[in-house]
Each structure stands twice: as structure tokens, then as C-alpha cells.
Amino acid sequence: MSVAAPIHLDLVGITKVYPSAVALNRVSLGVRGGEVVGLIGENGAGKSTLMKVLGGAISPDEGEIIIDGRTTPCLTPAEALAHGIAFVHQELNPFANLDVAGNVLLGREMRRGPFGFIDQAAMERRVQPLLDMLGARFEPSTPVSRLSLADQQLMEIAKALSTNVRLLILDEPTSSLTLAETQRLLEVIRRLRSDGVAILFITHRLAEVEAVADRVVGLRDGENAGELDQVSICRDAMVRLMIGRDVSQFYTPPATPPGDVVLRTRALRTRAYPDAAVDLDVRRGEILGLAGLVGAGRTELARVIFGIDPAHGGHVEIDGRLVSAGSVPAAIAAGICLVPEDRKSEGLFLDFSLAQNIVLPNLPAIAKAGFVDRRAETEVADRFRSRLKIRARRLDRAVSELSGGNQQKVVLAKWLGLDPKLIILDEPTRGIDVGAKAEVYRLMRDLAEGGAAVLMISSDMEEVIGVSTRVAVMRRGAIAGVLSREEVTEEAILRMAVG
């Protein structure tokens, strides 16, 4: 792949003001062909707004965009595409009724004959080399409905590469990828850089920034926070750039030893692995990390425990009492709560307000004669907004307008009002920044110290090792082993995960 004319782009003094907040205040950013620029900042720092300006989704109130020496006050999406600017967004919205080739070449379908019928074979031939480059394990003809979240992420990257790309913007591109897939993507980034493509790499996984970035630009509270050249890039410097302070300790050890068993599963079987029986105990006051490779069956186990999917055998107990299988209301009544991996499609009503989402699971507590007491709704929502430090000035603001980290906090907040006995968190810090991660860890520890049992599913090895009281490792739908805190190492977890 080659780029005939590497891009030369500058955003100068970009300002964007909304009625409720200043999203960007005179932000400047430059990127040149053949370099990787890491863009870092906490959720709500202005990264997404700046990228929307660059992609033509919104127009800035002030500032200018200079591309290849030509100045314009704003771009349209068509103009951004014409300049070779391609995006891979963190939140995926594929067309599930199409196959991979149809999604990758959407709007640019290859046709044949006088009637313009879609040439499926030609499209698949066009897409296959892109999938090979990314090391994808699926075909161009694979229906998107059959792809995992990680595979959909790779498909979106292939879609971006299928254009005449000169600037590739990657927004949390590895959040759903395995370690091997992540390393493959970083190699692709290096190859694109050597071919003259400019890359804006937005991620909260700072080790990946260290691995590939030539420069790092930090945003904080909608303003430029500073810049690091390649020799200055390190984790501590990036954290200081993002949050304005050192964070030397994210994890708090348990104050007291775990108590009695809250969750007990015996011979529990899932639809994905009907031949694998899961025996698992989670105790009061502990955070049990559930590790394993993507596809090991962790999310499927969580869905069965919470009653979303029926069990193919075995049973679930909470405090020694059986929980009715395949029933979410029964699971909630027993004190089980689930924070799903995909917060947008499974954890939130995006068009509802922050307050409505927070109180939704516990409406009877704030209702009078069958009607919601708006004053009580506001009081409850305001209490949890303060407790979880949700960055939103108005409780009536639609959740869709919040950053990813604040959306995740809303998902947590809606369950805390039920005083759960067991809370299951599936990838709780996926796509959120280092400061928000620390707050989520604190909340998890507070829940455990308050007597809840916490089951945390995570693919972030540092997170699993740092947060967990114990670690259970899954492989092919079964528990391969359980490690005490003293036994937990990355090598021990990986040995169990791969067998």
C-alpha cells in the first residue's frame, strides 16, 4: 500500500461551545504523513468532539482547519473523505443484515452488467487482502450477525483501509481485541506509517501508545494539556498530561478477609459450551477476577447467571437459595446485577435522560399510586451522580450525549440503588480513561467492603492482577483453575488460559 501525497494537516484554535458546556477551547493539533500521534485524555476531555470536527460531523464555532496548505473553517463528511480521512469508531454500528464485504464496501459496491447488479465475487476479492493484512479469522462472505465484537472491530478497520486513506483515526481500536490481535494491529499501524499514512491513535491503553506513537498530544477539560516527543513518552508522563497529577496507586487491597459464599454455581452449563460444567464460588467482600482468552465463555457464563440465557444444566445459588433459571426478574430479586460489556446496546436507554436511566431498575421505590415521583427521581439521580462523579451538569441530559466513561458510571449507578448481593461486571473499564478507571476500581472495592460479592470479567491483565482478591481462569467454557492473590501472575493466568 502506498500514499501518493502524504497529508499535512493542522487544526488551529478549534473552539466548540454547547449550551451546557465548553467542549473545546482553542485546541490545536497537527499531524503529518508517516507519523503516529497518540491523542490521550480523560473521558470528557474533548477528544471525540475534536474528531467530529475533523470528520465533518460538527462545525467549530472558532478556529480553522488547514489541509495541504489550504485553509477552511470547517469540513463536510464528504470533504473529509475526499481528503483521505478515515475513521474507526469505538462504538460499532455495523449493518448486521449484510456480510463483511457488504459492510466494508458500503456505498462503494462493485457492480457488473448493464443493469448494475452487485458483483459479489469482485467485492470479496477486493476485501480479502485487507482481512489477510489484519489476520482476521473470518471471510468476506461471513454474515456480520455471526461476528464477535472483536471481529466487528477488525471489520471496521478493514473498511477504513479500503478507502484512499491518508489519515487514519483509530478510536480505542484494541478495546475488543485479544493480545494477539492487538499485536497484529500494532504491526499494521507501523506498516501504514512506513507507507506514509498519518495515524491519530486514541486509546486509554497507554502501553500501546508507548509502543507505536511518535508524539503524544494530551487534552484536559477541552484544552491542550501539553505534548510529549518520542523520547519523553512513558506511562507516568502521559498520566500527568491527562489528569494533571500523579496516580501511583489505583488499587486498594481488601480491608477484611472475604466472608461467606454468596454465589455458588454447580455443574452450570452454557449454550456455547454445553459439555463444560462450571463450579464457581464468589464470597462476600471479595472481587473475583474472571480471566481467559476471548471466546473462553466468560460472557456466556455471566448471561446464564443473570438469567438472560437458559442454562443447559446445573444451577445457581445466592446465599444458599436456588435462583430460577432463565429469568432476569428472578435474578434481580435474588440480588444479582449485571453490568454488560456492550453498555450502549445492553446497558442503557440512550434516548432516556441520565436520571431516568439511573432510577429505571428501582421504579417502585420512587413511585406513588403508579406514577413516578419526579422529585424523588431527581433526588436519587443527583445522589448517585455525586457518588460516582458523573460529569453532567443536567440530570435531564440524554445519556447518548455523555462520554463513554460517564455512560459506564450510569450503568453502575442504576444497580447500586438495589443494594446488590452479587454484581457482575463484564469488561467494566473497556474504553474509559485512566482516571475513570481508578474511580471504577474504588466503587468496586466499596461494594465489596459493603458486603457485596463482585465478579469481574476482564481481558486487561494488569487490571485482573491488580484488582482481584482471587482469579478464576476459564478455558473452553470450563474453569481451568483458581489462583489466590499470592499465586496470581501474568504467566500463571496465561498458562491456564491456553492449557
Contacts 24+ apart (CB under 8 A), 141-148: 141/99, 141/100, 141/101, 142/99, 142/100, 143/96, 143/98, 143/99, 144/94, 144/95, 144/96, 144/97, 144/98, 144/99, 144/100, 144/103, 145/96, 145/97, 147/94, 147/100, 148/176, 148/294, 148/295
Residue (of 152, 52, 162, 177) closest to 94 by Cα position: 152
Phi, psi of 128 (to 5 degrees): -55, -45
Q: Which amino acid is at 421?
A: K
Find, among 124, 159, 154, 116, the residue nearest to 137 by Cα.
154
278 with 478: CB under 8 angstroms?
yes
Q: Are 498 and 318 in contact (CB under 8 A)?
A: no
Please give the pLDDT value at position 3. Answer: 54
| Interstrand relation of 36-40 and 215-220 (parallel, antiparallel or unpaired) | parallel
Distance (Å, rounded) from C-alpha 169 to C-alpha 174?
A: 13
Mind listing the pLDDT tens digit of every residue in the chain (499 residues)? 545 588 999 999 999 998 767 889 999 999 999 999 999 887 668 888 898 999 888 999 999 999 999 999 999 998 998 899 988 877 677 888 899 999 999 988 889 888 889 999 999 999 999 999 888 889 999 999 888 777 888 898 888 888 888 999 998 888 767 777 788 888 888 988 998 999 999 987 888 899 999 999 999 888 999 999 999 998 888 878 876 654 444 556 677 789 999 999 999 999 989 999 999 999 999 999 999 877 789 999 999 999 999 999 999 999 999 999 889 999 999 999 999 887 777 878 888 888 888 888 888 888 887 788 888 888 888 988 888 888 888 888 888 888 777 888 888 888 888 889 999 999 888 767 667 777 888 888 888 998 999 999 998 777 888 889 999 999 889 999 999 988 988 778 878 886 6
Cα–Cα distance, 88 to 99 (Å, whole number): 18
With contact defined as beta carbons under 8 Å apart, do 374 and 402 qualify? no
Q: Amino acid identity, residue 73?
A: P
Neighbours of 180 (CB within 10 A): 11
Q: How many whole angstroms separate alpha carbon 20 and alpha carbon 210?
A: 35
Class of domain 8-94+147-243: alpha beta
DSSP string, 41-54: --TTSSHHHHHHHH
Chain centroid to Cα 72, Å, comes to 33
SS3 letters for 117-180? Answer: EECHHHHHHHHHHHHHHHCCCCCCCCEHHHCCHHHHHHHHHHHHHCCCCCEEEEECCCCCCCHH
Residue 452 · residue 254 · CB < 8 Å: no
Phi and psi dihedrals of 66, rounded to 5? Answer: -115, 115
CATH number at 261-498: 3.40.50.300
Delimiting residues of CATH 3.40.50.300 domain(s) in the chain: 8-94+147-243, 261-498
The three grid cell numbers given for residue 220, joined into one nine-digit string: 484536559
Q: What is the pLDDT of residue 244?
A: 67
**For residues 459 and 296, what is the distance between their CA atoms, to the nearest angstrom?**
11
Q: What is the pLDDT of residue 276?
A: 94
This prediction has a pTM of 0.59
First-to-last alpha carbon distance for the chain, in angstroms, is 38
Q: What is the reported pLDDT for 43? A: 65
Q: What is the pLDDT of residue 338?
A: 94
List the grid coordinates of 284. Answer: 462476600
